[in-house]
Structure 1
């Protein structure tokens, strides 16, 4: 329980950003015509903040198999980062039972990974830190989706209040603690520039995939083999 309490304390500093993020999703879901129940269930069962916002961008009143496949590809690409995040902490998770790992990985997010990575880097090994942070984030995310939905139902265009800026601002703030110098920032810069150019030249969400691949390849070729 000591680790759980530590996880709750450490994640508390991120709560303002998480709350605004959840409100943004709730507002976007209301604007797309989802019911309150559907919106809350998506937050509770899907629980994939960025992917949920991307899904709302692609949401349509009528669906075809092609549209569903396109949504699946884009959201899978967005969530692919979780594979690397989980792998980076695999040596820590491996000794624990698979059932426990499956449960806490459902609650695994960018914020809990950041907290866990820093805690593990400091020599900590109590899995309760990840669990405490994950449960707290899930509760807050689901709960604050509701006022976001109610806000979205009242506001015709949430973007006029800057709600669409929540996601890029949140992630820009999240990567600050991961700063490792100018050289390590090169792949991020390349990914951003390539994504911007692609967005200008190609309609849709190809910029996500192209930018991600460009950043990953740049990082692979510029990484120090030592």
Structure 2
């Protein structure tokens, strides 16, 4: 990454993250085809829902004959973390129009959020719609293409896990976390490691009482509070 916030730099910065989209997208396409969803259904879901974990859940619930209301509510819970991410990212686009903010927020994903947070370390904590829209749109198109490709080859791959496709998203997030920690010079590495460890323990503890999605949200909020308190104490 560099300090540029142009279309070209947005394209350059987002390309490495697309490999994660490709791996998970192929896995979803394969799973959807083995679940007897049509190619057009796969494409439409990827363009409208645009959420890997939610799409896997929707597919399984459709296969089980779940009511639409339950499917919509489940998809909302799975993606409720995006409320926190959008709120955090919105502060960098206050001087832009509502339409611009809605456009950026509509295509925001875990990956482009992490990419944006990493980019802040090189740009003096500034972002532009051109850079972010480029990253968002490229990721959006790659995801849709990957899911369709997975659906097309769904009859050839019966077990995506045999190729490690189910681990692609985890591996990508580990890489983004590593880049965030080594590039953020405003915070000491020890503090960042402490927050990561605290969040991991908090989520593990909350899983005893809450669902995975609520545990993730709770762990994130507690991690923010923990980091703020420790940073001020130091």
Q: TM-score under structure 2 normalisation?
A: 0.78
Which ranges of structure 2 fall in alignment gaps of 5 or more residues?
182-188
The reply to whether residue 215 of structure 1 matches residue 219 of structure 2 is yes
* Cα distance per residue 1:111-141 (max 9 Å; x no partner): 2212222323432332211011011111111
Q: CA RMSD in A?
A: 2.7
Change beyond 3 A, Cα 1:222–1:128: same
Q: State the 1:57 CA deviation.
A: 4.2
Q: State the 1:62 CA deviation.
A: 1.8
Structure-1 separation of matches of 2:222 and 2:36: 40
Q: Which residue is equivalent to 1:133?
A: 135
Structure-2 separation of matches of 1:131 and 1:115: 12
After superposition, residues 19-168 of structure 1 pair within 5 angstroms as 19-64=22-67, 68-69=69-70, 71-121=71-121, 122-123=123-124, 124-168=126-170
Q: State the 1:44 CA deviation.
A: 1.1
Structure-1 separation of matches of 2:174 and 2:60: 20
Q: State the 1:96 CA deviation.
A: 1.1
| Bigger Cα displacement from structure 2, 31-40 vs 160-169 | 160-169
The structure 1 segments of at least 4 consecutive aligned residues displaced by more than 4 Å after TM superposition are none
The answer to whether the 8 A contact 1:26-1:152 is kept is yes
The answer to whether the 8 A contact 2:35-2:63 is kept is yes
Q: Indicate the SS of the match to 2:40.
A: helix
Q: TM-score under structure 1 normalisation?
A: 0.81
* Cα distance per residue 1:147-191 (max 9 Å; x no partner): 111222323333333333333333333322333532111233214
Which of the numbers 193, 204, 227 marks the counterpart of 1:182? 193
Q: State the 1:221 CA deviation.
A: 5.6
The reply to whether residue 224 of structure 1 matches residue 200 of structure 2 is no
Change beyond 3 A, Cα 1:6–1:28: same
Q: Which residue is equivalent to 2:185?
A: none
Q: Which residue is equivalent to 1:17?
A: 20
